Amino acid sequence: MSHNVGTSTQSLHADDALNVVSDVAPPLHLSTTFRYSDDPSELFPAADLNSFGTDPTKHIYSRASCPNPTRFETILTALLNGKAISYSSGLSALHAALTLLNPRHISVGEGYHGCHGVIALFTRLTGLQKLDLDCDPTFLQKDDVILLETPVNPQGTAFDIASYAEKAHSRGAFLIVDSTFAPPGLQDPFAFGADLVMHSGSKYFGGHSDLLCGVLATQRDDWASQLFADRVFLGSVMGNMESWLGVRSLRTLEVRVQRQSANTSRLVSWLHSALHTPSPAPGSDEAAVQAVLEEVFHASLQTTEGDWLAKQMPNGFGPVFSITMKEENLARELPSKLHYFQHATSLGGVETLIEWRTMSDATVDRRLLRVSVGLENWEDLRADLVGAFRGLAGL
């Protein structure tokens, strides 16, 4: 084929080579073990095999590979521009990445609190030392790691991947980019120097709030082989049902994410404009917003030096943003006054979620709420917010 195949086409056809049955919708395979060939010439002792997953249509035992996860990984390999390996959760993917690289130091920002829990386990086991994300480069040694989450949880603001890649590589260290908040179509970390790309696939790869999974992607064949080998013994494999659901979800990844991102940009733009309207008329929507809202965070509102952000995220700035209310009690009460925003943790589903973030993250400002925008009509979401703000402001 002479042209670059689009993301939606890849989502629907990257796994065509695995169609060994005539079903248009791939079947769900529940077996944990698979029969060997009846042809003795096709029997190869384990000691004679050089790598895992050499034939994606042949399987032995589901801890190594099986049809549904293999199909899921095949599609993601095309979408992520690197060999994809799936895991039982996003945190198990990070555990696998640190097992692979075994750094002595890891430079990391605040970000998702769960990642810091995984790092704490390695600190206990290996003595891994944690450094600030913007530490002096001389603190990094060969084979150390910078873990960069962008856009970052929970704010939804972004970091310059290329600058952190340059910093890591200048010291012989590696850059892991957690791109959960910006799935394919919004951001390609490999294009800006990432060595490993990580996703909590429970979010946008799943897209329907009904599966757990994690994903690593690498452009190094030796790392991919080692990650597959390690996963057999880590045991953190993705389940058959989750993989089947994941394939279903990847079929619509681009259209979902683009709609969610567009909805978010409109909501954020409206909130930012209302918050900064000078001398709003008494009783107006803008007056209600200014009475209760303190600040809005999103990559689309960032002021940056240079054009790195537009280059890094040319198709939208992600479907997650955060707001800070003027008082803690306003943050506590806001979710109960909303109709289309479901009060729950996690993100990436087709439904819009809002979370008083302190319910699941003890480290954040208690006035902060994280919003994961779904596929609803954005004007309905705006009207819902207006009604809630008016209720809180007594207007």
By the 8 A CB rule, do 205 and 183 touch?
A: yes
pLDDT over 90 (residue 1):
no
pLDDT over 60 (residue 152):
yes
Q: How far is CA 161 from CA 147, 312, 387, in A?
A: 11, 8, 39
Place 48 in a pLDDT band, splitting at 50, 70 and 90. confident
What is the model's pLDDT at position 51? 54
Helix axes 67-80, 240-250, angle to 10 degrees: 40
Report pLDDT digits (tens) over 171-208.
999 999 999 999 999 999 999 999 999 999 999 999 99
Average pLDDT over residues 86-104: 98
According to CATH, the topology of domain 254-393 is Aspartate Aminotransferase, domain 1 (3.90.1150)
Residue identified by tokens 């039982």 is: 88
Q: From CA 162, how far away is CA 211, in angstroms rounded?
A: 32
Place 47 in a pLDDT band, splitting at 50, 70 and 90. confident
By the 8 A CB rule, do 103 and 145 touch?
A: yes
Domains 7-251 and 254-393 share a fold: no
Place 50 in a pLDDT band, splitting at 50, 70 and 90. low
Average pLDDT over residues 152-166: 97
CB count within 10 Å of CB 368 equals 22
pLDDT over 80 (residue 156):
yes
Q: How far is CA 46 from CA 39, 50, 88, 216, 310, in A?
A: 17, 9, 25, 25, 49
Report pLDDT digits (tens) over 350-383.
999 999 999 999 999 999 999 999 999 999 999 9
Domain extent listing, the chain: 7-251, 254-393
Report pLDDT digits (tens) over 257-302.
999 999 999 999 999 999 999 999 999 999 999 999 999 999 999 9
By the 8 A CB rule, do 187 and 178 touch?
A: no
> pLDDT averaged over the chain?
96
Report pLDDT digits (tens) over 306-335.
999 999 999 999 999 999 999 999 999 999
Share of residues in the chain with pLDDT > 90 (%): 92
Least-confidence region, from 43-57, 82-96, 115-129? 43-57
What is the model's pLDDT at position 210? 97
On whether the pTM is more than 0.85, the answer is yes
By the 8 A CB rule, do 219 and 276 touch?
A: no
What is the model's pLDDT at position 292? 98
For the residues of 101-138, what is the DSSP string, one character each?
Answer: H--SEEEE-S--HHHHHHHHHHHHHH--EEEETT--GG
Average pLDDT over residues 118-129: 98
Question: What is the CATH code for 7-251?
Answer: 3.40.640.10
pLDDT over 70 (residue 212):
yes
What is the model's pLDDT at position 65? 92
pLDDT over 90 (residue 4):
no
Place 42 in a pLDDT band, splitting at 50, 70 and 90. confident
For the residues of 175-191, what is the DSSP string, one character each?
Answer: EEEE-TTS-TTT--GGG
SS3 69: helix
Share of residues in the chain with pLDDT > 70 (%): 98
